[in-house]
Structures are given as C-alpha cells and as structure tokens.
Structure 1
Amino acid sequence: MGVQIAAYVLGVVAAAEAVALGVLWIRYTRQRAELDEARSRLDTKNMLFTGGREAVKQVWQTANILRKDGLGAAVRSSIEDLADWAEVERPDLARLAPGGKIVIAFSDIEESTALNERIGDRAWVRLLGRHDKMVGRHVKKHSGYVVKSQGDGFMLAFAQPEQAVRCSVDIQRSLRRQPNGIRVRIGIHMGKSVRRGDDLFGRNVAMAARVAGEADGGEVLVSEVVRNAVRDVDGLEFDDGRDAELKGFGGKHRLYAVAA
C-alpha cells in the first residue's frame, strides 16, 4: 500500500513538473516573440527616421531650387554633374570589358533651360520623359548601359566603340525625325577598364565629358582613339577633325565628328 502511494505521489510530482516546464516554455516563446517584434519596430523606426531625414533633405533642397529658379533648374543637369558623380561614386564597370577597354559616352540637351522656358514646365517634363525612353531604347538595342541619368543628361557605357558610335548616331537620327526642338550633343571616349581605388576611371570619364562639352547640338563627337578604333567600320564616316584644348588635359586634342 505504501509503495502504491509513493508511486502515485511521484506521478503527480512528475506531471506537475511537466506542466510547469510547459508553462515556462510558452512564457519564454511569448517573451521572445515580443522581444523580436520590439526589435523589428525599433529597426523600422530607425530606418524610417534615417530615410525620412534624407527624404526631407532632398525635398527641402528641391523646394529651394524651385523657389529660386523654377522647375527647369530642378530637373536641369549637365555633363559636368554626371562626370562629378562618377568621380565620387566610382561605379565598377570593369565587367563590361574584362579584356581591356571601356567606352564612355555623355549626352546633353543643348540650351535646355531656354527650351524649358519656351515650352513651359509641364511640356518640358513630358518631353524629358519621351527623350529618356528613346535614349534607353537605343542603348538597349546596342548592348550598352545607362550608368547614370539626371535631368537632361546621360552617362552611357559600352564594351565596344562601334556600339557607342552607332547608338549615338541612332539617337541623333531619332531626334531629327521628331520636331520637338531638342538638339543633343554627344561625346565619346574610350580607355582602360575601370578599377576601384585608382584614377583610371576618373580620367576616362573626364575626357569623355570634355569631348561632349566640345560638341555642338545634333553632333556626335569622338576622341581620336575612338575614331581610330572604328575608322574602317562600314557605314561610319568622320570629318577631318578639329583641335581642341580640353580642361584638365595638357596640349591640344584632335576630335572628330561623325558624318550625318
């Protein structure tokens, strides 16, 4: 009889311990879930706070530009802006041309501010939207990459100079078929593959930007190294060239316009 009672008591104790352990496990699970949720809320709050500060900063800066200079100034870009961005960000484009060289092209709408003022802000924004789609379509067709676009300017990259030149020619042809008042200047240069941590990328970007800055509206202007690389390609012709002094580069440089 005593043995039966002892066994019964031990069973009750074991059952109680099992219930207690179950309660403790449930409590632990709930507390952990609550802790994870709290951490998630905190991370989200920090993310929103940080992103919100940047968003407010951008909106404030844009509002100041709009207040002082109008919408045209807010969306206006330049070849120099894009070149400066590339110099700071140093995007890694070496994958485009693992064997050696990369081709950089800049495009920019000539006298965009005057055109903006003439047609008005709404029409200008719609015009930019159509222009962006057109440029993107031709870049994709010629296996290029839009490295950066800002307002009325583009920075493009290609693995081969022929791709860059033919893409630029197609862009100019499309613009001539559209009586929208847009005249775009395009400059192309090529050099060694981009590498992070040195200035090879910066120099090639700067040279391409300077070449584009020398171009006239409706013109595709290339550096001598690009002209030499494609001079024997069927369907591509160039003028006799002109000498130019390029900011940041010593001496004079021969630049060539692609024949229309």
Structure 2
Amino acid sequence: MTLWIIAAGVELAVIVALGVLLIVSRKKLKNTRAALERARADTPRRRRGLVPLAVRTAFNATDSLIQKGFGATVRNSVEDLAGWAQVERPDLARITADGDVVVVFSDIEGSTARNQELGDRGWLKLLEKHNRMITKQVVDHGGHVIKNQGDGFMIAFSDPTEAVRSGIAVQEALRENPEKWSGIRVRMGVHVGSSVRRGDDLFGLNVAMAARVASQADGGEILVSEPVRQALRGAHDIDLGTPREVELKGMRGSFALYPVDCAPRTVNENT
C-alpha cells in the first residue's frame, strides 16, 4: 500500500511538472508572437505596406506553432488560403479595370516532409528565400500578392498572360539551380473570372476554382483552366500540353485543365 501511494505521488508530481512546463513554453511562444507583431507594426512600410519577408515568415511560423501546438511543422495549404479568402473577401476588383481578375494559388509540394528533413531553422531560411523569389516574380509581372501563409501564396493579376509568365519564371528559377532551393517543387493553379464587385457568389466560385486547379497540379507544374487557355490565345511564347479531364471537389461536372510547358525552348539553328 505504501509503495502504491509513493508511486501515485511521483506520477502526480510528474504531471504537475509537465503542466508547468507546457504553460511556460506556451507563454514564451505568445511573448515571441507579441514581439513579432510589434516589429511588424513598427517596421517602415515597403511597397504597398508589405512587411519584410523575414519578419512575416517568422511571424507565420510562431503563429502556426501557437495554433497547432508543440511539434507542429510550419505548413499552409492552398485550401487554408482559399478558406481565408472566403472569410475576408479581399477586394480583388481594384486590381483590374475590365471586371475580370486572374487568381493564382501556389505552394510547395511535400512541404511538411521537407520541413522535417531540414529542421525548423533550415526550413524557415528556405521559406524566406522562396517567398522573396515568388514575390519578386509576381511584382515584375504586374501582379499582387493577396496573401502569403508559410509556403502558400494567393496572388492576383489583371492579365492572364502575365500571370502564366510569372509562374513560368518561378519554375525556371527552381529548375535551373535545384541545389540552391533544396530541391523543392512548387505547384501552381491559374483561373480567371469575375471580380468581387460582380457579386459574392461569383467571387467565391472563382477563388474556389483557382484553389481546386492548384490542388490538381503536381510539383513543378502549372495548371490553367479553360478560361485562361482561351485568354492565352496569341501568346506565342506560352505552350500548353494535352488537357486533363478532372472532377473538382465541390463542383459539378468535369473540367479540362491544361499543363503549361515550362521546359526551356530549343533554338532551331536552321531558322
């Protein structure tokens, strides 16, 4: 009986100690989050109010740890971004004059496994570099980063051709020097439709459509919807592959999705 009481006491002490450790750890994480929020507020704004990528990436990482618990990897999916857009309803109409907006979603294939492979510090360094490159290509092609969470991006363009060219530039950069990027592969989906001012239902449908297109892409691939394919007519520097007929979650019927040829073009010496 005495041994049982002692064992129970030891077990209770261990539980109390673990509880105290958990509370202290969570407090430290929240303090870190608060510090990053202050840094985010105090940092001079750059280019339409974007905070530095290093601060934003660290903030997203801390937020993910607090929300998902200890041992959680830094991961944000296309579905997370699409869900955010459905709630926040960003004003996409300001980006375009003709009533149509191009929505692009992208993320890193197998990001959770890569996070575990590189460790949190190595993964955050890679994310910062990846996010900086994506943002540069978007801005260079006249696009706007609507939301970035971890390795995921929601992007808007007024021109479907420039949206696809931006994606091609990203894939080329990753392919040309895979060691620099730790071999990551980015998947992207592109769709064009009516902007938010034409009605919430259309907004929700087009954002969801772009997210579903991206979810069908493999790493290193850009998929575009039928409306984007039609808009690309006359863009002689963009080639599309054989369409794939797919069913998209939450949408009736089947849809044709077209892979963009991201391979470097060969020059014919006889021409």
The answer to whether TM tops 0.5 is yes
Q: Over residues 175-221 of structure 1, what are the superposed CA-to-partner deviations in whole Å (9 max), with x where a residue is unaligned?
A: 11232221000000000122286221111000000000000000000
Please report how far the alpha carbon of residue 98 of structure 1 lies from its aligned counterpart in structure 2 after TM superposition: 2.5
Aligned match of 2:192? 190
Q: In structure 2, which of residues 180, 183, 186 is the aligned counterpart of residue 181 of structure 1?
A: 183
Aligned match of 1:63? 66
Q: Based on CA coordinates, which of the two structures has the bigger radius of gyration? A: 1
What percentage of aligned pairs have identical amino acids? 53
Aligned match of 1:229? 231
CA separation of 1:60 and 1:187: change in aligned 2, threshold 3 A: closer
Aligned match of 1:31? none
Aligned match of 2:240? 238
Q: Over residues 20-59 of structure 1, what are the superposed CA-to-partner deviations in whole Å (9 max), with x where a residue is unaligned?
A: xxxxxxxxxxxxxxxxxxxxxxxxxxxxxxxx7xx8xx97
Structure 1 stretches of at least 4 aligned residues deviating more than 6 Å after TM superposition: 58-61
Q: Distance in 1 between matches of 2:64 and 2:185?
A: 29
CA separation of 1:145 and 1:121: change in aligned 2, threshold 3 A: same
Q: Distance in 1 between matches of 2:150 and 2:261?
A: 27
CA separation of 1:149 and 1:60: change in aligned 2, threshold 3 A: closer
Aligned match of 1:36? none
Which residues in structure 2 correspond to 1:92-107 (within 5 Å)?
A: 92-107=91-106
Q: Distance in 2 between matches of 1:191 and 1:86?
A: 15
Normalized per residue, the structure richer in helix is 1
Equivalenced residue count is 202
Where do 5+ consecutive residues of structure 1 fail to align? 1-51
CA separation of 1:235 and 1:122: change in aligned 2, threshold 3 A: same
Normalising by structure 2, report the TM-score: 0.71
Aligned match of 2:163? 164
Q: Distance in 2 between matches of 1:121 and 1:242?
A: 37
Normalising by structure 1, report the TM-score: 0.73
CA separation of 1:61 and 1:171: change in aligned 2, threshold 3 A: closer
Q: Distance in 2 between matches of 1:154 and 1:209?
A: 10
RMSD: 2.0
